[in-house]
A and B are shown apart, each in its own frame.
Chain A
Amino acid sequence: MNLFTEYANDGKHFIIHVKGTFDFSVVHDFRQAYEGLSEKIGTVIVDFRETEYIDSSALGMLLNMRKSLGAGSRSIHLVNCRPDVRKVLDISRFDKLFVIE
């Protein structure tokens, strides 16, 4: 399993970690991870600390997540991006849609 999730800040934050390659191979697990997320969760964090590779299918998944979680109503943070991952996010101007840390 290349994906694991955890709650933080007394259940108000939800964190998704993707390990290794973030591409279509986790498409199903990734959607399931955030589906039916409780209303009281105000912040969703995708933690890239263990993400080595990323491609455009990952970008698609992130956009779908944003749409599904109600664009703008919850803040979605993309954190701990390595420079290469950051570059890919920047190319697609994801900084306009997500909080990239």
Chain B
Amino acid sequence: MRFLSVDSPLADDAPHLQALREQLERCDVAHARVASIDKLSNVLSADAAQVILIPEPALAHYLSFRDSHSQSQVFQTNPPHVVILLSQVSELDQSQLPPEAIDVWYLPMFDVALKMRLQSVAEHQQLMKAAQEQKKALGLQQERIRQEQKIVHNIFTNAYSRSLVSDPHIQTLLRPLSSYNGDLFLAAKGGTGSLYLFLGDFTGHGLPAAIGTIPASQTFFAMAERGRPVSQIAREVNRQLHQLLPEDMFCCGLIVELSARGDRLNWWSGGMPPAVVINPKGDTSDYLQPQHLPLGILPDAEFESGITSTRVPMNSQLLMYTDGVIELGISQQDALGVDGFLEQCKALQWKMPGICEFIEKELTEREPHDDLSLVMLRCSDTGFEEPNQDDERSRLPFEMKVRIGPNEARTLDPVSTIIRGVCQVEGLSKFRPSLYTALSEAYNNALEHGLLNMSSAPKQSSEGFESYYMERSRRLARLQRGKIDIELSYKPDDAVIAVKVRDSGKGFRFDHQDQPMAQEHTFGRGLHLIRELTRDLRWSENGRCIEFNFPLDKLPYE
């Protein structure tokens, strides 16, 4: 620490200043004399701690000096401290003192008094230094936290980015208490055209509560997109959260699947306040009462995955909400409650903009204490198209011949293998299920009647049906001879796959094939399927050979 002792413009001050300098000398304190305030700029250094001793008559000059040097490196990075020196009794207006002033000394001073003042200046200096270092460390720490928050925010955003937030069936009001939401709302399109929703509420709020939402959301999306049943989604999310969350944390959750036609809700609820079904007339027609413990509490073996299936009139609405909504005002001992909330919603004719406005108003009037989520689902046709695989059909014709002997028939699944191969060709995969059905019927007919000599008659009774298939596997196991030839010919110009299935059996009489099928008879249904799914069906070689063209110009169900 270095003292800079500035001369006074008043000659009367000189002896006092001279005496002070000598005292400093005696006390072994580093100091330098500065002839005037203006000369300070030559001696002030940004590198060292400095205390300027300024006689009161020079104070005004110093104030203008510091104003003009406020942007200098010294004043920006290591501003000096100031001690005002008074040598005559005069009024010192505190408002005149610069913020860096730390003391006022009356001259002359006894040595002992000066020593004490020097000590206190040194202590002050040290405190300031420590405070500055802490401030710097705190700044770095804050910057790190900001960076981490940014990353975490990104992860949350990405984790939910698959959610169908803008689906016209859904309106939401999602109000987290802090920047992380312990409530979770997700929507996904299911494989069979249904719409999946997940409204969850993790214990607590803020980041600890939000962390569990990430694995839960990934599981939900993966399973919903594959069209998995609600019960299995609930089970899997529970298993994961049970494994992951600490004992005292869990997730209240409502998982809902709206059917493609919009007339059925399959749902599982654990610990969520009852969602409400509102029929098109505006009356509450059903409550989705929670039937299970929240997710993440029970081990898999004890978990109850039982869902409820609820039919809803077309254009009903489903109102789902977390307990943040009904507990609004709980800290004022005046919670809104389920009844209070639903009454308000009904008065607002279940219209979401009005309900949102009401909740926002409640939020400003009463202090929220939890995350809050509100979701309104319109139950109508989801309008999700099947994934469109309208890629161009390959223009390269090909043929495929497969010969199936007893061994292949016993150990392989020839139809699946053939279909898998054929449908790798560009533009054919969308025909896979129907082509499978047609070829499977022809192949099984050839195998069962041609090679295994089975009669379809027993299939007409329930008991016979199963024993027919037992007999089939018995005969197949013993089969020694015979073969089935399958020929597929892809003809892009005719937009067909020509199919020929020939067996080496005795052939059969097929004079009844054109009779209308009896409704409840299982016999002949396979042939009927082939006829409806294909064109140009013909038999030859006394019933040993069946041929048909599988059309590729449009899908069978179009």
Residues of A within 8 A of B (CB): 6-11, 13, 15, 17, 21, 23-24, 27-28, 31, 45, 47-50, 52-57, 59-61, 63-64, 67-68, 79-88, 90-93, 96-97, 101
Contacts and interface: CB of A to CB of B under 8 A. Distances in A.
Residue of B231, B263, B462 with highest tally of chain A CB at under 10 A:
B462
Contacts of A31: 466
Nearest to B440: A55
B261 A27 contact: no
A68 B461 CA distance: 11
Contacts of A55: 436-437, 440-441, 444, 526, 529
B192 A80 contact: yes
Contacts of A6: 229, 231, 305-307
B538 to A, nearest CB: 19
B532 interface: yes
Interface stretch (B214-222, B342-350, B517-525): B517-525
A53 B433 contact: yes
Nearest to B291: A10
What is the interface of chain A mostly: helix, strand, loop, or mixed?
A: mixed
B475 interface: no
Contacts of A82: 192, 386, 433
Contacts of A45: 309
Nearest to A80: B192
A82 B459 CA distance: 27
B305 A92 contact: no
A88 B261 contact: no
Contact of B308 (A8, A48, A67, A87): A8
Contacts of A97: 519-520
A60 B459 contact: yes
Given A52-B433, A79-B259, A87-B557, A47 B229 contact: yes
Chain B CB within 10 Å, residue with most, of A6, A10, A31: A6
B203 interface: no
Given A6-B305, A27-B465, A27-B469, A17 B437 contact: no
Contacts of B444: 55, 57
Nearest to A54: B437
B191 A49 contact: yes
Contacts of B231: 6, 8
Contact of A49 (B227, B533, B557): B227
14 contacts: A9-B308, A9-B309, A17-B229, A49-B191, A53-B433, A54-B437, A55-B437, A56-B522, A56-B525, A57-B469, A59-B525, A60-B525, A80-B260, A84-B556
B309 A91 contact: no
Contacts of B440: 23, 53, 55
Given A49-B191, A53-B433, A80-B227, A64 B462 contact: yes
Most B C-beta atoms less than 10 A away, residue of A15, A55, A61 = A55
A8 B309 contact: yes
B555 A60 contact: no
B194 interface: yes
B433 A84 contact: yes
